[in-house]
Structure 1
């Protein structure tokens, strides 16, 4: 036998760590209170097409109608890697049906389990279902071609009237045929005869299996719109949301504050002449006064609530990895009917912070207010902050050794932030320009020059100035970033000199 090459050369492979993905900024939700396939037990479903929504909710349902406004907007989030989430708002209370007891086994591999199953013809176990003990014996694994063959034998012995037994591709699942509090599937135990199969199928106690007892019918109290949003956000990382039902006036300030805190853009359509008035009692004006920019407000004197859904769909369409892909909603076309407004109504809406959808020379278009900032600024900065955070995390996560607490290591972090920011310059979110604020950091000339030439400036603090406590905590010096917004041209003045 020849000597191992390890006597001469040893090679260690340092693999790159798995990176985290940036948030999908184009995941949008429509909140429905319509009873149907969703409930507080199943809060949401995702959709990529209007036909899929119709299959779940019915073609003539209000939920499908709002989904059609979403998918009818061109482009829409699906074309930019996004998706539509239908979320549930329990507005009127509900009765949750009784559930069955379930035993879900731990994950198993057919390739590993099957050869062992073939070694015995007398597999067995006892199991208690709904308080009654059942003996399952004489399971022959010797001729099994697949794991399903063994599961079928278990089902025949246990009988379908007692419980269903299935293999879902990775777990054995045993479900009682009854429902309610007495519906309980226990862990299998060894029988007095045969070879115990519970451990091999990973359904016995201690194997990683888990059982959930059945529940009786239960009444669920109504919830607020804020509670519904919070529950949905805990389950799926939505970035935009619009309600089919009007957001109640009392809920507006609460949801506006929640949207800012949770990096979600909420789209709401107001109606009625009172929404155009500068009045503290006007919830739209109150949002503007509070600078709650994540709460986007539209106005429709016809009360068309699909306006908010289409506006949301058109907003969440940017691929920030592309070049010059950033957009403004001003003058864009939506998939709802435009409305006629007087100049007084237009001026009042603009002052309050309400965007409207009207026509100019018979061409439908959005007129943006900007009083409560512009939606593209909110959307772009939300994407940028997440990108910087995620990319910086990935630098630390995927480095096989470490990012050292040295000047070189800090430079790595600084370069990472610069690379991310340069991508947003390429997407036309930021651009070279003149810095108009009095604040700056670092060398003033270098700061201004970088903004004028690159559109951004990144500066990391000096390690020599770092406190002993921060160094012991293995913190990086603070990295500061200044970016120049590219903005967008929404209007202009043109002067024509005429000489006769």
Structure 2
């Protein structure tokens, strides 16, 4: 075979192009549990955990965040992830975390030989020169931190098992700790502490105290991943706080929901009309849900675990959240009248039945919608949005033609077909208003119908702006049976 001659690309030219990656549909079961424990700082704000042991290690088993996550991860199937967000309920101090010391760097022999240690650091804007630090009598790194604390003014040094941390004694926005630098005399330990600009983490400033709403807004702006918000804090938000948060969630452009557990027994009183459930119902908020629970302030974490288990890409996978169990939650024993009161207030409850099997009921949002409807509507909106976006992204061009509109409609219909598969949509009669070629009383044999007018009907202004003609969809919800009346006729 000849190894010389013309390049074959003169005849066959091949280029391999990696197509742009499409966007992904959001996770409509991922919660953020918002707490006030001093674990996640005000710069980080939010952290992800994939199991209860990692939450216990970070927060401790007595923390509100752990107690809420325990209910969340106890659901079946076990959720894959939870986000925990920080509420700066009280003002915080500025601090700096040093770099992590290796095992060899943690040996006390590195320190006991130092009798004149020194370094410079700025605390709250003022320079402090630490001199004559004597570690010769210390037996562990906690002792080293204690010697440094004695040399500081208005700050403390601690050893957390892997790094040194210097924290200002003040709080608020003026509370600041800078990097350590050599002082110039004695034995410099700034690098050994790993508190220099080259080795330490970025200093975290202090923060002023914030409201629960301000925490929600901060978490909203920092992450678009979470869908469900609930609080688990040492001091919980007030009802007024929850109303303000619910208003924000309702108006926000990114779809979210707010879960509230109300321990107030006045929820059971039909004459008490200022409970949080009644207030949210009167405001017609469809993105908030309240559960009455007298023994656990975090019951809704278990409900969030139910939502996390919903798979919109499966077959017949969409549940109604009524009749479900809440592992780890003590069910309420209430009267028929109290159950009717809660139902009228659209306040959910985990309740005992005479069968011995407790169930979660009524599984509703504060106004108009069932829980499964709220979640499904948000998934459908996002799934259609992402599918059409990816079509535009991955295609060389979608023509402003009837064929182009057909491509968009086919993309939408593929999502609607999945909504049939997962159990959200089912065949039925369209009882809504007529539009396009879809009429009231029409049988939607596939459970949905999609309509777009001819491209020729489009105005020149819209055509010049490269806007598609409007697309309208009619869908028939599969619904869910949550109560049954049975009449048995007997003939002797």
TM-score under structure 1 normalisation? Answer: 0.73
Deviations 1:305-353 (A, max 9, x none): 1211111111221111110000011110011111101111101100011
Query: How do 1:167-246 residues align onto structure 2 when only pairs under 5 Å count?
Result: 183=179, 218-236=205-223, 237-245=225-233, 246=236
Partner of 1:57: 59
Count of residues paired in the alignment: 396
2:282 is equivalent to residue 294 of structure 1: no
Any conservation in 2 of the 1:29–1:85 contact (CA below 8 Å)? yes
2:252 is equivalent to residue 254 of structure 1: no
2:357 is equivalent to residue 382 of structure 1: no
Any conservation in 1 of the 2:121–2:180 contact (CA below 8 Å)? yes
> For the structure 1 residues 411 and 46, does the alpha-carbon distance in structure 2 shift closer, same or farther, using more than 3 Å as the test?
same
Partner of 1:145: none
SS of alignment partner, residue 352 of structure 2: strand
The Cα of 1:130 is off from its aligned counterpart by 9.1
Deviations 1:48-86 (A, max 9, x none): 1111111111233332222111111212432xxxx1111
Partner of 2:82: 84
Of the structure 1 ranges 360-369 and 387-396, higher mean CA displacement relative to structure 2 is found in 360-369
The Cα of 1:355 is off from its aligned counterpart by 0.6
Partner of 1:473: 465
The Cα of 1:247 is off from its aligned counterpart by 3.1
SS of alignment partner, residue 33 of structure 2: strand
The Cα of 1:499 is off from its aligned counterpart by 1.5
* Cα distance between partner residues in 1 of 2:213 and 2:67: 23
Alpha-carbon RMSD: 3.0
Deviations 1:147-180 (A, max 9, x none): xxxxxxxxxxxxxxxxxxxxxxxxxxxxxx9996
The Cα of 1:234 is off from its aligned counterpart by 2.3
The Cα of 1:493 is off from its aligned counterpart by 0.3
The Cα of 1:419 is off from its aligned counterpart by 0.3
2:325 is equivalent to residue 322 of structure 1: no
The Cα of 1:216 is off from its aligned counterpart by 7.5
Residue of 403, 407, 411 corresponding to 1:412: 407
* Cα distance between partner residues in 1 of 2:326 and 2:362: 13
> For the structure 1 residues 454 and 217, does the alpha-carbon distance in structure 2 shift closer, same or farther, using more than 3 Å as the test?
closer
Task: Give ranges in structure 1 of 5+ residues lacking alignment.
Answer: 102-128, 132-176, 186-209
The Cα of 1:364 is off from its aligned counterpart by 1.0
Query: How do 1:27-38 residues align onto structure 2 when only pairs under 5 Å count?
Result: 27-35=30-38, 37-38=39-40
Task: Give ranges in structure 2 of 5+ residues lacking alignment.
Answer: 100-119, 123-164, 168-175, 182-196
Query: How do 1:328-407 residues align onto structure 2 when only pairs under 5 Å count?
Result: 328-335=320-327, 336-360=329-353, 361-368=355-362, 370=364, 372=367, 373-399=369-395, 401-407=396-402
* Cα distance between partner residues in 2 of 1:77 and 1:402: 40
Residue of 3, 8, 13 corresponding to 1:5: 8
TM-score under structure 2 normalisation? Answer: 0.74
Residue of 469, 485, 494 corresponding to 2:477: 485
* Cα distance between partner residues in 2 of 1:483 and 1:410: 19
* Cα distance between partner residues in 2 of 1:288 and 1:178: 48
